[in-house]
Amino acid sequence: MRTSDLIILGFILAVFLTYNITKGLRQRRAGKKMLLARKAVQNTASELSEQGYRIVEVEQNYPVLVNVDDRQYRHVVKIDLVVAKQGKTYLVEVKSGKQTRRLNSARSRRQLLEYYSVRRADGIILFDADNGKIRHISFQMAVNRTEQRLRDVTLIAVGILVTYLYFYFRVR
């Protein structure tokens, strides 16, 4: 073997080792993060139970089908907790660390809207795992004006009909 062959072989070995070491470190970090997240969800469930919430679901997956140009894509939305209290159901998102400082970000808002659209509830609880703070989130969607007008016209028509029937049968 020549020196140039050994250098090339050494380079390939170095790239291979670097790739596998960084991959292993990334997997280890991801595993640690998942373990911390799971523990945060368990702690949140305990905390909410102590505050009178009943735990309905823990880390439940909800399948979602997205259709794009006649092609269907499957996704899964995972909601940390679903809890109930006083006849109302809440979806719970557990945040910790840097995530709690970005509650008004578009990414957080989209995530909460996604939860809300996948599983309807009376509200969303955003739980700050670092300090145990509960924030209640709700969405008020803009009503389509055509739907609103149709609803108003229907109510008026029903009111007129009821009034007419009342006087019609009262006179007889």
Q: 126 near 115, Cβ under 8 Å?
A: no
pTM exceeds cut of 0.75:
no
Task: Give the pLDDT confidence score for residue 123 in this predicted structure.
Answer: 85
Task: Give the pLDDT confidence score for residue 134 in this predicted structure.
Answer: 83
Task: Give the pLDDT confidence score for residue 154 in this predicted structure.
Answer: 92
**Is 104 found in the same domain as 166?**
no
Across the chain, which has 172 residues, the per-10-residue mean pLDDT values are: 78 81 74 70 84 87 88 89 90 74 71 82 84 80 76 90 84 65
Q: How far apart are CA 154 and CA 79, in angstroms?
A: 38
**Is 132 found in the same domain as 83?**
yes
| Structural domains of the chain, count | 2
**Is 149 found in the same domain as 119?**
no
**Is 32 found in the same domain as 74?**
yes
Binning the chain into helix, strand and coil, the percentages to the nearest 5 are 55, 30, 15
**Is 122 found in the same domain as 67?**
yes
**Is 137 found in the same domain as 153?**
no
**Is 111 found in the same domain as 63?**
yes
Considering only CA atoms, which of 66, 72, 48 is closest in space to residue 58? 48
Considering only CA atoms, which of 43, 42, 53, 34 is closest in space to residue 136? 53
Q: For residue 30, what are its two tokens?
A: 């991801």
Question: Residue 160 sits in which domain range?
Answer: 144-172
Q: How far apart are CA 77 and CA 117, in angstroms?
A: 10
Task: Give the pLDDT confidence score for residue 86 in this predicted structure.
Answer: 92
